[in-house]
Amino acid sequence: MNKAIVLILTLVIAYNAHTQEIKKHYDENKMVSKVEFYSNGELKNTISLENPFNVTSYDSIDEGNGVIRYYINENDLNNLGDTFFKELSLNSAVMRLNRFNKISYKNSAHSLSDKYILIKQTLNAISENGSIEAVCTSGTLYDMNGNKVIEFKPSNKGILAPCVTENGKYIIFDTNFNVISDDLDPRKEISFDIYDLEKQKLIYSHVPERSIRFFRSKTAHNYFIINRQIERDRFKTLVIFPETLIGYYNYYTKKEAHSILRYEKNGIVFKSGKDGEIKERFTSMFSKKKL
């Protein structure tokens, strides 16, 4: 048999022997009900998601499209600490002032870099005019075998646009959130958190100025990229190496930001002219700071 054919067959067999698959199952409300983990076609693990409010006396307003909304009253609020708000600093007195009269619950499952899946549950407190006044999110990251890697406890943050470095050691996610301050005035802020997955701990949390418009975090190689619009035609690109928590940043116009072709290990390549390219190295063309 031709050596090339033998090599191809060997590679195919080796690949199939280690194929891993995730199957998501949904209920009638388009919510994730369970996630199954398969290896080479064999079911290895199952994660079931339970709505903590299904066992309560709350009256649902509407269900479907992945969200269930509930009416709440003062008696219900006293029970929230036992279900979802247990570790929050959200003062129940805020609720008693009728700031909120509804809550909405949803869950979701996000596949990350073909190595992990993040299952998260989100609870929003909704005011009478329908605006979201407070957010509570918890999440659990699993590997492709269904083993728990890290759990993000309930907090008054969201978990948005999660991504993991190529080496699987760090995760970043945006944490757009609304905080109820002591004077009952909600502050809408934008942030991002970075976790070390091996040590299972938060290593960096950042809240930029409120005037900044935030764009989703992403990863390339083993660093993170955070692009933010800080003025109408001024963007800031921040590159973070999580191993050292060293950041490199630069500013670009909208046209320059849109001309980025690719991210390389040591810099960013931009389109130049009709067919040309220009590379800006982090160590020479960016400002450096320790986070």
Distance CA(9)–CA(142), nearest Å, equals 31
pLDDT of residue 89: 43
Domain boundaries, the chain: 20-207, 209-291
pLDDT of residue 214: 58
Give the DSSP per-residue string, 109-148: EEEETTTEEEEEEEEEEEETTS-EEEEEEEEEEEETTS-E
Phi, psi at residue 93, to the nearest 5°? Answer: -65, -30
pLDDT of residue 125: 77
Distance CA(285)–CA(219), nearest Å, equals 20
Confidence (pTM): 0.80
Phi, psi at residue 75, to the nearest 5°? Answer: -65, -40
**What string of H, E and C letters represents the secondary structure of 42-80?**
EEEEEEECCCCCCCCCCEEEEEECCEEEEECCHHHHHHH
CB 60 within 8 A of CB 31: no
pLDDT of residue 288: 96
Measured between alpha carbons, how far is residue 148 from residues 102, 151, 162, 197, 257 in Å? 32, 8, 16, 11, 37
The burial of 17, by beta-carbon neighbours within 10 Å (0-12 exposed, 13-18 middle, 19 or more buried), is given as: exposed
- Beta-carbon contacts of 153 under 8 Å, excluding residues fewer than 6 positions away, are 87, 138
pLDDT of residue 114: 84
Distance CA(240)–CA(226), nearest Å, equals 8
Chain length of the chain: 291
Q: pLDDT by residue for the chain (291 residues), tens digit each?
A: 555 554 454 444 444 446 889 999 998 888 899 999 999 999 999 999 887 776 666 777 887 778 888 887 666 666 665 555 554 444 444 444 456 678 888 899 999 988 899 999 888 777 777 777 777 788 899 999 999 999 987 666 778 889 999 999 999 988 765 555 444 455 555 678 999 999 999 999 886 655 455 566 789 999 999 888 777 888 889 999 999 999 999 999 988 988 999 999 999 999 988 889 999 999 999 999 999
Q: Is the dihedral of CA 236, 237, 242, 245 positive or negative?
A: negative
Nearest by Cα to 91 from 78, 82, 104 = 78
* Pair type for strands 177-180 and 234-241: unpaired
